[in-house]
């Protein structure tokens, strides 16, 4: 029998802000857009703010009406990324099998680690206390025999809860819950299921498999298994079977300024490149994902020579943006990913004319990765992410065809 933990950080962005600024402790903190802009939304609300009924996705004006004393802060993604890295490093002290699911949650397979650290409840308690003591961040932990049920369990007690949910108890604990509480049941599927009289997870678990497959195709099989607590997937510490690496940022309000968008694309490219190099992959196809002010998703892709370079990812994603989105286009979410992956030095053929440039920039990227791993992600930054002034003075941004970020890359330590 496996013992799987799901560690879920509580009100992560707001908790990070409270951890780095002790004066915010106990105050209603909202990580959001500019509170003076009515169209900004709340990205994360601290638990002090949630007592007023404030929720993620709520417009700023509505949140301010509910809690006039709320502290509005713009998101600091570099800070949150560093806290996330530190959290994962703590988890790795208890097991080598750690799979990060998002910036604020991860699974840990502690099977076989009990003789070192105690039973699953004791291990969960040690992890929770160490994250709190070392990072000053709260988290909730779910424990079960598979990843799915462990994740569901971590949702049951927040904040700072620990829940052990064996598979034998899912009928009593999970089946009475609303069907939308099941992982990967979105609003469209929820409406479809409820229109057919399927209101709870238990209703879904007892629906014939063949009917769900007819209703949702291959996804119907997964939904049926999930409702019945069946999940055989392992905790994957390494992306050996990865199809792509990607990161997204939901912006605090509608962005139209090209300089702000470029800085966001560079931050995303940094994170994607770092993860790809860490797992020893190269990629060929750069994908740009954009959601507009109406949350309509538009994607564009472009294939280049195989690369591990942040510069190549940024240059291509920036070109895709400039070629496909008019000036003043309102952006709410940006995403960058790289796909068509191969293991480095095994299957990819590097363009002969790029060998010298490639090797020099690969060494530079590797050095930056090592500095960040040792001292923190935000210890070293490119000039473009700090201010647009350096780039404006050194490159003809009015003509993006002439802009080469491989030439105009500046670092500050």
Does the annotation place 109 within a ligand binding site?
A: no
**Gap between the Cα atoms of 256 and 51, Å rounded:** 34
Among the ranges given (2-11, 217-226, 390-399), the one the predictor scored with the smallest mean pLDDT: 390-399
Query: Any bridge partners for residue 29, and if so which?
Result: 71
Q: State the catalytic residue, choosing from 105, 145, 270, 315.
A: 105
Question: Domains plus CATH for the chain?
Answer: 175-227 (1.10.150.20), 259-412 (3.30.1490.100)
* Ramachandran quadrant class, 325 (left: phi over 0; alpha: psi -120 to 50; beta: rest): beta
pLDDT of residue 189: 87
Confirm or deny that 404 is annotated as ligand binding: no
Comparing C-alpha atoms, which of 119, 95, 130, 122 is closest to residue 109? 95
Least confident of 13-27, 90-104, 189-203, 284-298: 284-298
Give the model's pLDDT for residue 386: 53
pLDDT exceeds cutoff 90 at 135 = yes
- Dihedral Cα 185, 188, 193, 194, nearest 10 deg: 110
pLDDT given at position 391: 33
Three-class DSSP labels, 258-295: HHHHHHHHHHHHHHHHHHHHHCCEEEEEEEEEEEECCC
In the prediction, which pLDDT does 303 show?
Answer: 86
Give Cα separations from 229 to 2, 81, 162, 223, 412 (angstroms): 14, 31, 19, 10, 49
105 catalytic per annotation:
yes
The answer, as to whether pTM is greater than 0.75, is no
Output the pLDDT for position 186: 78
Model confidence at 393, in pLDDT bands (50, 70, 90)? Answer: very low
- Angle at the Cα of 81 (from 79 to 84), degrees rounded to 5? 110
pLDDT value of residue 404? 32
Which of the four pLDDT bands, split at 50, 70 and 90, describes residue 179? Answer: very high
- List the one residue out of 155, 224, 239, 145 whose CA is nearest residue 189: 224
Task: Identify the bridge partners of residue 24 per DSSP, sorted by sequence position.
Answer: none
Residue 12's pLDDT is 94
DSSP assignments along 115-170, one per residue: HHH-SHHHHHHHHHHHHHHHH---EEEEEESSHHHHHHHHTTSTTT-EEE--GGGH
Instruction: Give the integer Cα–Cα distance in Å for 214 and 221.
Output: 10
Q: How far is CA 21 from CA 10, 18, 29, 136, 254, in A?
A: 17, 5, 11, 11, 27
Number of Cβ within 10 Å of residue 299's Cβ equals: 12
* Rounded Cα distance, 327 and 96, in Å: 47
């Amino acid at each position: 029998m496996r013992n799987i933990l799901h560690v879920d950080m509580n009100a992560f962005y707001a908790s990070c802000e409270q951890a780095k600024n002790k004066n915010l402790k106990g105050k209603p903190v909202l990580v959001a857009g500019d509170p003076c802009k009515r169209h900004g939304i709340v990205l994360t609300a601290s638990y002090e703010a949630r007592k007023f009924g404030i929720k993620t996705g709520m417009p700023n004006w509505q949140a301010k009406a509910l809690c006039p004393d709320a502290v509005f802060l713009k998101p600091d993604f570099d800070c949150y990324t560093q806290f996330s890295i530190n959290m994962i490093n703590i988890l790795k002290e208890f097991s080598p099998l750690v799979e990060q699911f998002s910036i604020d949650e991860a699974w840990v397979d502690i099977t076989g680690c009990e003789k070192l650290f105690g039973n699953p409840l004791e291990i969960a308690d040690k992890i929770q206390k160490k994250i709190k003591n070392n990072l000053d961040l709260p988290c909730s932990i779910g424990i079960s025999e598979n990843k799915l049920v462990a994740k569901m369990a971590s949702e049951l007690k927040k904040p700072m809860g620990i829940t052990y949910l064996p598979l034998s108890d899912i009928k009593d604990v999970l089946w009475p819950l609303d069907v939308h509480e099941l992982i990967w049941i979105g609003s469209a599927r929820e409406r479809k299921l409820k229109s057919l009289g399927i209101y709870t997870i238990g209703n879904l678990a007892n629906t014939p498999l063949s009917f769900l497959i007819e209703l949702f195709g291959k996804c119907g099989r997964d939904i049926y298994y999930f409702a019945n607590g069946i999940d055989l997937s392992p905790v994957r510490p390494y992306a050996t079977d990865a199809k792509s690496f990607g990161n997204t940022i939901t912006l605090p309000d509608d962005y139209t300024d090209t300089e702000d968008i470029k800085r966001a694309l560079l931050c995303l490219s940094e994170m994607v490149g770092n993860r790809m190099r860490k797992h020893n992959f190269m990629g060929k196809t750069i994908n740009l994902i954009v959601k507009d002010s109406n949350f309509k998703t538009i994607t564009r892709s472009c294939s280049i020579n195989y690369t591990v370079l942040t510069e190549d990812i940024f240059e291509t994603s920036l070109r895709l943006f400039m070629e496909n989105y008019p000036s003043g286009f309102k952006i709410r979410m940006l995403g960058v990913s790289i796909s068509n992956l191969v293991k480095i030095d095994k299957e990819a053929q590097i363009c002969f004319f790029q060998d010298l440039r490639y090797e020099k920039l690969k060494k530079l990227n590797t050095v930056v990765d090592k500095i960040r791993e040792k001292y923190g992600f935000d210890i070293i930054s490119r000039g473009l992410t700090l201010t647009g002034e350096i780039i404006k003075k050194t490159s003809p941004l009015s003509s993006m065809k002439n802009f080469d970020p491989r030439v105009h890359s500046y670092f500050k330590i």
